[in-house]
Structure 1
Amino acid sequence: MPDGLIGPNRRNAWTARPGGVSLLRPARAPRPVTVEALPQTVTLNLAATALIVVDMQNDFCAADGWLASIGVDITPARSPIPVLADLLPRLRAADVPVVWLNWGNRPDRANLPPGVLHVYDADGTGGGIGAVLPDGRGPVLERGSPSAAVVAELEPAAGDVHVAKYRMSGFQDTELDSVLRNLRVDTLLFAGVNADQCVLATLMDAANLGYDVLVLQDAVATTSPPFCLDATLYNVRQCFGFTLTGTALAESL
């Protein structure tokens, strides 16, 4: 931060001077953008919007990652890549924060209850979170390992924000809410995988916390059966917020 500014970033900073401090945050002019969406057209304020990209990491989306190693067809999980590759530079140019929300567990897994570990290791043989992949990569979903890194095709930029998560929801036991509030955003765009699992769980918690939530439906995907994605998009439109396409948003920018 420049001298005289006190805060986590330029969006949420006091101004200090000898003998006094101004609590007035920097003013940000509204930057409205209107986009076709479902169930209604929406107008976003880009000055108060952030993009959350969920789990676009090697373990879920790379050919040599964990899911591929256990026989899961990751083709659907890779479908958001070209949409995001086009959209991310446009959002950054519009000063919209990009938040990478990836599974990234503690090496000792000390904060993970049996219910979370069981999801990925149903028979208790140790093949889930923390396991080392056959070629020596991994450990699976461990913070700081190649497994938890963003896929190569979506290289993060220097100003992006990274938050590690440990549950389906990125808000549980993490600093995500504090990060977003310090960015002074109230509208969240969601992209990533799996749409019916981690994306939806994070979106629901965001809606419950009072954020406006929108899913970029061509920038989310799932390795679950197609009806799971259909139900997810239906429920988002019916109960929580809106769906739109990243392509339409990119055009509006």
Structure 2
Amino acid sequence: MSTRDGRAPLRHRNRWQFPADGATVDLRRPHLPERSVTLRAMPAPLVLDPSRTAVLVVDLQNDFCASDGWLAGIGVDVSVLAPAIGLSARAVAGARAAAIPVIWLNWGNRPDQANLPPGVAHVYDPRGTGEGIGSGTAPSGAPVLTKDSWGAALADGLTAEPGDIHVDKYRMSGFWDTPLDSILRNLRVDTLVFAGVNSDQCVYATLVDAACLGYDVVMLDDASATTSPSYCHDATVYNVRQCYGFTASTPDLLDALTAEPAHPTTPTIPATPTAPNPEDTV
């Protein structure tokens, strides 16, 4: 079964249950069976519960990664991002196979930019000449980083599948002015695994906010990359390990997930209690 746009219906993990008798409302959520994988990470190995984990892939979109995207059009060498695209694709495939939600977090600005603050607009148009967000100045001619445009779409080598979740963002951090936190809380996840670009900018800003909100954070340091000087990525990796969470490699994540014993792929519904008999009350 799929929705009209071809996506699979989202299996909500945060819903009340309604017994067939119609006499009660069961406030217990579907049960998420506890699972356990051990992941080699820095600064220490981790034990994760895939049932309470999501993978966030940040800004792997045409305007940042493609040769005719906006970033390449202003003279930036985007070829350095290619390894992160390939490794992110592998991480996403492994996550899906392990029944871990995948969230694509991309810039997708409103065409009218009504919610875009001047400081963010300035980052992409520092001289105020109208060449930044929403302009048609990228080699592709598509409006830069605009919702539903070619520039906002996933880069070649990446494919969204039914059941994946898409979130548009409008800041370096994906938590501001977006439903990301609400989505994660409804997924009932505690641990977030990050991949994408730029590691020292949008990946890092989103990860820091996630950590401040109380999520456990793990950055895939090989599936994250930046067009900044290499020391910027190195400093980001250092800061993640030192202040916010952990880093790991994509092969180690895949090894951990494939080593997990067989697991149920859907939440289970709690047994429905018998409705009380009104005649038994006093």
TM-score, length basis structure 1: 0.94
The question of 1:61 aligning with 2:65 is answered: yes
Shift of 1:19: 2.5
Once the two structures are superposed, what CA deviation does each residue of 1:102-143 show, in whole Å capped at 9, x if it has no partner? 001000111111111111111110011111135553200001
Whole-angstrom distance in 1 between the partners of 2:212 and 2:57: 19
Give, in angstroms, the shift of residue 144 of structure 1: 0.7
Identity %: 57
Cα RMSD over matched residues? 1.5
Q: Does the Cα contact within 8 Å between 1:54 and 1:102 map onto a contact in 2?
A: yes
**Deviation per CA, 1:181-230, whole angstroms, max 9, x where unpaired?**
00000100000000000000000000000000000011000000000000
In structure 2, the residue matched to 1:13 is: 15
- C-alpha change, 1:242 and 1:136, in structure 2 (3 Å) is closer
2:246 paired residue among 217, 229, 242: 242
| Counterparts of 2:144 and 2:49, CA distance in 1 | 38
Aligned partner (choices 223, 228, 242) of residue 227 of structure 2: 223
Runs (4 or more) in structure 1 with deviation over 4 Å come to none
SS at 2:214's partner residue? Answer: coil
CA distance in 2, matches of 1:205, 1:110: 23
Corresponding residue number in structure 2 for 1:92? 96
1:9–1:182 contact (8 Å) kept in structure 2:
no
CA distance in 1, matches of 2:76, 2:224: 17
3-state SS of the aligned residue for 1:217? Answer: strand
Deviation per CA, 1:47-97, whole angstroms, max 9, x where unpaired? 100000000000001111111111110012222122122222221011100
User: Which protein is bigger by CA-based radius of gyration?
Assistant: 2
Measured in 1, the distance between the counterparts of 2:215 and 2:147 equals 27
Counterpart residue number, 1:4: none
Structure 1 spans left out of the alignment, 5+ residues? 2-7
Q: Distance in 2 between matches of 1:101 and 1:142?
A: 13
> AA paired with 2:227?
T
Kept after mapping to 2: 8 A contact 1:196/1:229: yes
- SS state at 2:18 partner: strand
1:24 aligns with 2:24: no
Q: Which has the higher strand share?
A: 1
8 Å contact from structure 1 (residues 137, 146) kept in 2: no
Indicate the residue corresponding to 2:4 in structure 1: none
Name which of structure 1's ranges 134-143 and 118-127 shifts more when overlaid on structure 2: 134-143
Shift in alpha-carbon separation, 1:59–1:135, aligned structure 2, 3 A: closer
Amino acid paired to 1:89: A
How far apart are the structure 2 equivalents of 1:184 and 1:49? 8
Equivalent position amino acid for 1:47 in 2: S
Does the residue aligned with 1:13 lie in a helix, a strand or coil? Answer: coil
For 1:134 and 1:69, locate their aligned partners in 2 and report how far apart those are by CA, in whole Å. Answer: 6
Q: What CA distance in whole angstroms lies between the structure 1 residues aligned with 2:39 and 2:101? A: 19
Larger displacement relative to structure 2 (18-27 or 179-188): 18-27
The range that moved more, 66-75 or 131-140, is 131-140
- Give the letter for the 2:63 counterpart: D
Q: How does 1:37-48 map to 2 (within 5 A)?
A: 37-48=41-52
Q: Which runs of 5+ in 2 are unaligned?
A: 2-9, 258-282
Corresponding pairs, count: 248
Secondary structure of the corresponding residue to residue 163 of structure 1: strand
Deviates most, 29-38 or 132-141? 132-141
Contact 1:54 / 1:190 at 8 angstroms: preserved in 2? yes
> Is this contact kept in 2: 1:103–1:143, CA < 8 A?
yes
